Structure 1
Amino acid sequence: MDTMSAPSAMTSGTGGPHARQAVFTAMLEQHRGIVLKIAYSYCRDTDDQRDLVQDISMQLWRAYPAFDPERSRFSTWMYAIALNVAISQLRSSSRRRRQHLRVDDAAIAAVPDQAAASPEDTLALHTLHALIRRLDPLNRALMLLYLDDRSHRDIAEILGITPGNVATKIGRLKQRIREQIA
Protein backbone atom coordinates (compact mmCIF):
# COMPACT_ATOMS: atom_id res chain seq x y z
CA MET A 1 0.00 0.00 0.00
CA ASP A 2 3.00 2.19 -0.63
CA THR A 3 1.50 4.21 -3.42
CA MET A 4 -2.07 4.15 -2.08
CA SER A 5 -4.83 5.04 -4.52
CA ALA A 6 -4.66 8.72 -3.69
CA PRO A 7 -1.53 9.67 -5.68
CA SER A 8 -3.52 9.19 -8.88
CA ALA A 9 -5.59 12.24 -7.91
CA MET A 10 -2.39 14.16 -7.37
CA THR A 11 -0.81 13.22 -10.69
CA SER A 12 -3.98 13.62 -12.75
CA GLY A 13 -4.40 17.20 -11.57
CA THR A 14 -7.87 16.51 -10.13
CA GLY A 15 -8.93 17.29 -6.63
CA GLY A 16 -7.14 20.60 -6.24
CA PRO A 17 -4.57 21.71 -3.69
CA HIS A 18 -6.54 20.51 -0.66
CA ALA A 19 -6.76 16.97 -2.04
CA ARG A 20 -3.06 17.04 -2.90
CA GLN A 21 -2.21 18.21 0.61
CA ALA A 22 -4.43 15.52 2.16
CA VAL A 23 -2.74 12.81 0.08
CA PHE A 24 0.70 14.13 0.98
CA THR A 25 -0.16 14.30 4.68
CA ALA A 26 -1.49 10.73 4.65
CA MET A 27 1.60 9.43 2.85
CA LEU A 28 3.93 11.35 5.15
CA GLU A 29 2.15 9.98 8.22
CA GLN A 30 2.25 6.43 6.85
CA HIS A 31 6.03 6.64 6.36
CA ARG A 32 7.03 9.08 9.11
CA GLY A 33 9.28 6.45 10.68
CA ILE A 34 11.67 6.94 7.76
CA VAL A 35 12.10 10.64 8.54
CA LEU A 36 12.44 10.02 12.29
CA LYS A 37 14.99 7.26 11.82
CA ILE A 38 17.13 9.46 9.57
CA ALA A 39 16.89 12.44 11.92
CA TYR A 40 17.90 10.32 14.92
CA SER A 41 20.80 8.87 12.97
CA TYR A 42 22.17 12.13 11.62
CA CYS A 43 21.64 14.48 14.59
CA ARG A 44 22.74 14.04 18.14
CA ASP A 45 20.56 16.48 20.03
CA THR A 46 16.79 16.66 20.15
CA ASP A 47 16.50 20.23 18.84
CA ASP A 48 18.65 19.39 15.81
CA GLN A 49 16.58 16.26 15.23
CA ARG A 50 13.36 18.30 15.27
CA ASP A 51 14.87 20.86 12.89
CA LEU A 52 15.97 18.12 10.51
CA VAL A 53 12.52 16.49 10.59
CA GLN A 54 11.00 19.87 9.72
CA ASP A 55 13.55 20.53 6.95
CA ILE A 56 12.96 17.09 5.45
CA SER A 57 9.18 17.52 5.62
CA MET A 58 9.39 20.91 3.90
CA GLN A 59 11.63 19.54 1.16
CA LEU A 60 9.30 16.58 0.65
CA TRP A 61 6.36 18.97 0.27
CA ARG A 62 8.27 21.12 -2.23
CA ALA A 63 9.24 18.06 -4.26
CA TYR A 64 5.86 16.33 -3.99
CA PRO A 65 4.40 17.76 -7.23
CA ALA A 66 7.21 16.00 -9.12
CA PHE A 67 6.60 12.64 -7.40
CA ASP A 68 5.64 10.01 -9.98
CA PRO A 69 4.11 6.84 -8.48
CA GLU A 70 4.70 5.10 -11.80
CA ARG A 71 8.45 5.64 -11.46
CA SER A 72 9.04 4.75 -7.80
CA ARG A 73 7.30 3.90 -4.55
CA PHE A 74 6.61 6.78 -2.20
CA SER A 75 8.86 5.33 0.51
CA THR A 76 11.79 5.01 -1.92
CA TRP A 77 11.30 8.58 -3.15
CA MET A 78 10.95 9.76 0.46
CA TYR A 79 14.15 8.01 1.57
CA ALA A 80 16.13 9.59 -1.27
CA ILE A 81 14.99 13.11 -0.43
CA ALA A 82 15.29 12.66 3.34
CA LEU A 83 18.83 11.29 3.07
CA ASN A 84 19.86 14.08 0.70
CA VAL A 85 18.55 16.72 3.11
CA ALA A 86 20.24 15.03 6.10
CA ILE A 87 23.57 14.66 4.31
CA SER A 88 23.45 18.26 3.04
CA GLN A 89 22.68 19.52 6.54
CA LEU A 90 25.47 17.38 7.99
CA ARG A 91 27.97 18.75 5.48
CA SER A 92 27.00 22.38 6.05
CA SER A 93 26.99 21.87 9.80
CA SER A 94 30.42 20.26 9.78
CA ARG A 95 31.77 23.08 7.64
CA ARG A 96 30.53 25.60 10.18
CA ARG A 97 31.67 23.76 13.27
CA ARG A 98 34.56 21.72 11.86
CA GLN A 99 33.85 18.94 14.27
CA HIS A 100 32.60 15.42 13.85
CA LEU A 101 29.39 14.19 15.37
CA ARG A 102 29.88 12.28 18.58
CA VAL A 103 27.81 9.40 19.72
CA ASP A 104 25.12 10.56 22.11
CA ASP A 105 23.51 7.75 24.06
CA ALA A 106 20.37 9.79 24.70
CA ALA A 107 19.82 10.32 20.97
CA ILE A 108 20.52 6.69 20.20
CA ALA A 109 18.08 5.60 22.90
CA ALA A 110 15.39 7.72 21.23
CA VAL A 111 15.59 5.82 17.94
CA PRO A 112 12.31 3.99 17.29
CA ASP A 113 12.09 0.22 16.85
CA GLN A 114 14.35 -0.55 19.80
CA ALA A 115 12.15 -3.10 21.52
CA ALA A 116 15.11 -5.14 22.73
CA ALA A 117 14.23 -8.16 24.84
CA SER A 118 17.16 -8.06 27.27
CA PRO A 119 19.88 -5.75 28.59
CA GLU A 120 22.36 -7.60 26.36
CA ASP A 121 20.19 -6.90 23.31
CA THR A 122 19.88 -3.26 24.33
CA LEU A 123 23.65 -2.98 24.71
CA ALA A 124 24.21 -4.65 21.34
CA LEU A 125 21.73 -2.27 19.72
CA HIS A 126 23.40 0.77 21.29
CA THR A 127 26.78 -0.50 20.09
CA LEU A 128 25.46 -1.00 16.57
CA HIS A 129 23.93 2.50 16.49
CA ALA A 130 27.17 3.97 17.82
CA LEU A 131 29.13 2.26 15.05
CA ILE A 132 26.65 3.42 12.42
CA ARG A 133 26.86 7.03 13.65
CA ARG A 134 30.62 6.94 13.10
CA LEU A 135 30.26 6.02 9.43
CA ASP A 136 30.55 8.60 6.67
CA PRO A 137 27.18 9.86 5.37
CA LEU A 138 26.93 7.49 2.38
CA ASN A 139 27.78 4.37 4.39
CA ARG A 140 25.50 5.49 7.22
CA ALA A 141 22.64 5.86 4.76
CA LEU A 142 23.48 2.48 3.25
CA MET A 143 23.37 0.73 6.64
CA LEU A 144 20.13 2.46 7.67
CA LEU A 145 18.47 1.30 4.48
CA TYR A 146 19.90 -2.22 4.85
CA LEU A 147 18.72 -2.46 8.48
CA ASP A 148 15.31 -1.25 7.33
CA ASP A 149 15.13 -4.38 5.12
CA ARG A 150 15.25 -2.44 1.86
CA SER A 151 16.20 -4.48 -1.21
CA HIS A 152 19.56 -3.92 -2.88
CA ARG A 153 17.66 -2.54 -5.87
CA ASP A 154 15.80 -0.01 -3.68
CA ILE A 155 19.01 1.01 -1.91
CA ALA A 156 20.74 1.45 -5.26
CA GLU A 157 17.89 3.62 -6.55
CA ILE A 158 17.81 5.77 -3.42
CA LEU A 159 21.58 6.29 -3.23
CA GLY A 160 22.26 6.45 -6.96
CA ILE A 161 24.66 3.51 -7.09
CA THR A 162 24.46 0.09 -8.73
CA PRO A 163 22.92 -2.93 -6.95
CA GLY A 164 26.28 -4.70 -7.26
CA ASN A 165 27.98 -1.78 -5.53
CA VAL A 166 25.33 -1.95 -2.79
CA ALA A 167 26.06 -5.64 -2.19
CA THR A 168 29.82 -5.02 -2.09
CA LYS A 169 29.54 -2.06 0.28
CA ILE A 170 27.13 -3.88 2.60
CA GLY A 171 29.46 -6.87 2.77
CA ARG A 172 32.42 -4.65 3.62
CA LEU A 173 30.46 -2.67 6.20
CA LYS A 174 29.19 -5.83 7.90
CA GLN A 175 32.74 -7.17 8.07
CA ARG A 176 34.00 -3.86 9.48
CA ILE A 177 31.27 -3.82 12.12
CA ARG A 178 31.97 -7.46 13.05
CA GLU A 179 35.65 -6.61 13.53
CA GLN A 180 34.86 -3.57 15.67
CA ILE A 181 32.45 -5.52 17.87
CA ALA A 182 34.84 -8.46 18.35
Structure 2
Amino acid sequence: MMLQTMPTASSAKVNDAASASPSFLAWVASLVHEHRGQLLAYARHRGLDAEDALDAVQDSFTSFLTLPEARALSRDREDAIKMLTVILRHHVMNRRSKQARHGRAQILLEAQAAHTRSDDHDALVAHAEELARVQGCIVRMAKLQRNVVMLSLLDEQPHEEVAKILGISPGYVRVLVHRAREHIRMCSYIDEAL
Protein backbone atom coordinates (compact mmCIF):
# COMPACT_ATOMS: atom_id res chain seq x y z
CA MET A 1 0.00 0.00 0.00
CA MET A 2 1.49 3.34 -1.07
CA LEU A 3 0.97 6.54 0.88
CA GLN A 4 0.00 9.57 -1.10
CA THR A 5 1.59 12.80 0.00
CA MET A 6 0.04 16.20 -0.37
CA PRO A 7 2.26 18.83 -2.00
CA THR A 8 3.49 21.35 0.54
CA ALA A 9 3.83 25.08 -0.03
CA SER A 10 7.61 24.77 -0.25
CA SER A 11 7.42 21.95 -2.79
CA ALA A 12 4.94 24.02 -4.81
CA LYS A 13 7.46 26.89 -4.89
CA VAL A 14 10.19 24.51 -6.00
CA ASN A 15 7.92 23.13 -8.73
CA ASP A 16 7.04 26.67 -9.83
CA ALA A 17 10.72 27.57 -10.02
CA ALA A 18 11.47 24.40 -11.96
CA SER A 19 8.68 25.12 -14.44
CA ALA A 20 9.79 28.74 -14.93
CA SER A 21 11.35 29.43 -18.27
CA PRO A 22 15.14 29.15 -18.42
CA SER A 23 15.36 32.69 -19.77
CA PHE A 24 13.60 34.02 -16.67
CA LEU A 25 15.87 32.04 -14.34
CA ALA A 26 18.91 33.22 -16.28
CA TRP A 27 17.64 36.78 -15.96
CA VAL A 28 17.22 36.37 -12.19
CA ALA A 29 20.78 35.05 -11.84
CA SER A 30 22.10 37.87 -14.01
CA LEU A 31 20.12 40.47 -12.06
CA VAL A 32 21.43 39.20 -8.72
CA HIS A 33 25.06 39.06 -9.86
CA GLU A 34 24.91 42.38 -11.68
CA HIS A 35 23.19 44.49 -9.02
CA ARG A 36 23.99 42.77 -5.71
CA GLY A 37 27.07 44.93 -5.09
CA GLN A 38 25.26 48.17 -5.90
CA LEU A 39 22.34 47.25 -3.63
CA LEU A 40 24.67 46.20 -0.80
CA ALA A 41 26.51 49.52 -1.08
CA TYR A 42 23.16 51.33 -0.94
CA ALA A 43 22.14 49.47 2.23
CA ARG A 44 25.54 50.05 3.88
CA HIS A 45 25.39 53.75 2.96
CA ARG A 46 22.02 53.92 4.71
CA GLY A 47 23.64 52.79 7.98
CA LEU A 48 23.25 49.00 8.08
CA ASP A 49 26.15 46.79 9.07
CA ALA A 50 27.36 44.16 6.58
CA GLU A 51 25.18 41.33 7.89
CA ASP A 52 21.98 43.40 8.06
CA ALA A 53 22.73 44.89 4.62
CA LEU A 54 23.06 41.41 3.11
CA ASP A 55 19.82 40.29 4.77
CA ALA A 56 18.01 43.41 3.51
CA VAL A 57 19.24 42.83 -0.06
CA GLN A 58 18.22 39.16 0.04
CA ASP A 59 14.79 40.11 1.41
CA SER A 60 14.47 42.68 -1.38
CA PHE A 61 15.20 40.12 -4.10
CA THR A 62 12.70 37.74 -2.50
CA SER A 63 10.02 40.45 -2.33
CA PHE A 64 10.75 41.50 -5.90
CA LEU A 65 10.45 37.96 -7.28
CA THR A 66 7.07 37.45 -5.58
CA LEU A 67 5.61 40.48 -7.37
CA PRO A 68 3.08 39.55 -10.05
CA GLU A 69 4.80 41.96 -12.46
CA ALA A 70 8.30 40.50 -11.92
CA ARG A 71 8.19 38.68 -15.27
CA ALA A 72 7.10 41.82 -17.10
CA LEU A 73 9.87 43.79 -15.40
CA SER A 74 12.37 41.20 -16.62
CA ARG A 75 12.08 42.77 -20.07
CA ASP A 76 13.28 46.17 -18.85
CA ARG A 77 16.41 46.07 -16.69
CA GLU A 78 16.13 49.75 -15.70
CA ASP A 79 12.61 49.32 -14.31
CA ALA A 80 13.71 46.19 -12.47
CA ILE A 81 16.62 47.89 -10.70
CA LYS A 82 14.42 50.88 -9.84
CA MET A 83 11.84 48.55 -8.29
CA LEU A 84 14.56 46.64 -6.42
CA THR A 85 15.94 49.90 -5.04
CA VAL A 86 12.50 51.01 -3.83
CA ILE A 87 11.90 47.65 -2.16
CA LEU A 88 15.39 47.74 -0.61
CA ARG A 89 14.80 51.27 0.69
CA HIS A 90 11.72 50.03 2.57
CA HIS A 91 13.57 47.00 3.95
CA VAL A 92 16.42 49.26 5.13
CA MET A 93 14.00 51.70 6.79
CA ASN A 94 12.22 48.81 8.53
CA ARG A 95 15.51 47.35 9.80
CA ARG A 96 16.76 50.75 11.00
CA SER A 97 13.47 51.44 12.77
CA LYS A 98 13.66 48.05 14.43
CA GLN A 99 17.26 48.68 15.51
CA ALA A 100 16.32 52.13 16.84
CA ARG A 101 13.40 50.70 18.83
CA HIS A 102 15.65 48.02 20.30
CA GLY A 103 18.31 50.63 21.10
CA ARG A 104 15.81 52.94 22.82
CA ALA A 105 14.33 50.00 24.74
CA GLN A 106 17.82 48.97 25.86
CA ILE A 107 18.61 52.52 27.02
CA LEU A 108 15.33 52.68 28.95
CA LEU A 109 16.01 49.30 30.55
CA GLU A 110 19.52 50.36 31.54
CA ALA A 111 18.22 53.66 32.93
CA GLN A 112 15.52 51.81 34.83
CA ALA A 113 18.09 49.40 36.28
CA ALA A 114 20.34 52.30 37.31
CA HIS A 115 17.45 54.12 38.98
CA THR A 116 16.28 50.96 40.69
CA ARG A 117 19.78 50.26 42.03
CA SER A 118 19.98 53.73 43.52
CA ASP A 119 16.50 53.36 45.11
CA ASP A 120 15.42 56.60 43.45
CA HIS A 121 11.87 55.42 42.79
CA ASP A 122 10.37 58.93 42.85
CA ALA A 123 12.71 60.09 40.08
CA LEU A 124 11.94 56.94 38.08
CA VAL A 125 8.19 57.54 38.38
CA ALA A 126 8.62 61.19 37.40
CA HIS A 127 10.73 60.18 34.40
CA ALA A 128 8.15 57.57 33.31
CA GLU A 129 5.36 60.15 33.66
CA GLU A 130 7.33 62.63 31.55
CA LEU A 131 7.94 59.99 28.86
CA ALA A 132 4.23 59.12 28.85
CA ARG A 133 3.31 62.82 28.55
CA VAL A 134 5.70 63.33 25.62
CA GLN A 135 4.45 60.12 23.96
CA GLY A 136 0.87 61.38 24.33
CA CYS A 137 1.83 64.69 22.76
CA ILE A 138 3.51 62.97 19.81
CA VAL A 139 0.47 60.72 19.23
CA ARG A 140 -1.74 63.83 18.92
CA MET A 141 0.37 65.25 16.06
CA ALA A 142 -0.57 64.96 12.39
CA LYS A 143 0.87 61.91 10.63
CA LEU A 144 3.52 63.80 8.63
CA GLN A 145 4.71 65.69 11.71
CA ARG A 146 4.79 62.42 13.72
CA ASN A 147 6.93 60.82 11.00
CA VAL A 148 9.30 63.81 11.04
CA VAL A 149 9.60 63.60 14.84
CA MET A 150 10.25 59.85 14.75
CA LEU A 151 12.90 60.09 12.02
CA SER A 152 14.54 63.38 12.98
CA LEU A 153 14.37 63.58 16.75
CA LEU A 154 14.13 59.94 17.86
CA ASP A 155 16.09 58.17 15.09
CA GLU A 156 18.45 61.19 14.81
CA GLN A 157 18.34 61.23 11.00
CA PRO A 158 19.71 64.37 9.30
CA HIS A 159 17.05 66.69 7.89
CA GLU A 160 18.14 65.98 4.31
CA GLU A 161 17.66 62.21 4.79
CA VAL A 162 14.24 62.75 6.42
CA ALA A 163 13.26 64.95 3.47
CA LYS A 164 14.25 62.23 0.98
CA ILE A 165 12.40 59.50 2.90
CA LEU A 166 9.19 61.55 3.24
CA GLY A 167 9.39 63.27 -0.16
CA ILE A 168 9.40 66.82 1.21
CA SER A 169 11.97 69.62 1.23
CA PRO A 170 14.65 69.87 3.97
CA GLY A 171 13.34 73.35 4.81
CA TYR A 172 9.88 71.94 5.46
CA VAL A 173 11.43 69.26 7.69
CA ARG A 174 13.09 72.02 9.77
CA VAL A 175 9.77 73.86 10.06
CA LEU A 176 7.96 70.68 11.15
CA VAL A 177 10.68 69.87 13.72
CA HIS A 178 10.45 73.40 15.15
CA ARG A 179 6.64 73.18 15.32
CA ALA A 180 6.85 69.71 16.88
CA ARG A 181 9.16 70.96 19.65
CA GLU A 182 6.77 73.84 20.36
CA HIS A 183 3.81 71.44 20.30
CA ILE A 184 5.51 69.11 22.80
CA ARG A 185 6.40 72.04 25.12
CA MET A 186 2.84 73.40 25.05
CA CYS A 187 1.25 69.97 25.28
CA SER A 188 3.40 68.99 28.28
CA TYR A 189 2.66 72.34 29.96
CA ILE A 190 -1.11 71.90 29.47
CA ASP A 191 -0.99 68.26 30.68
CA GLU A 192 0.91 69.32 33.83
CA ALA A 193 -1.62 72.09 34.51
CA LEU A 194 -4.49 69.58 34.34
Q: TM-score range by the shorter chain?
A: 0.3 to 0.5
Select the structure that is richer in helix.
Answer: 2
What TM-score do the two structures reach when normalised by structure 1?
Answer: 0.45
TM-score with structure 2 setting the length: 0.42
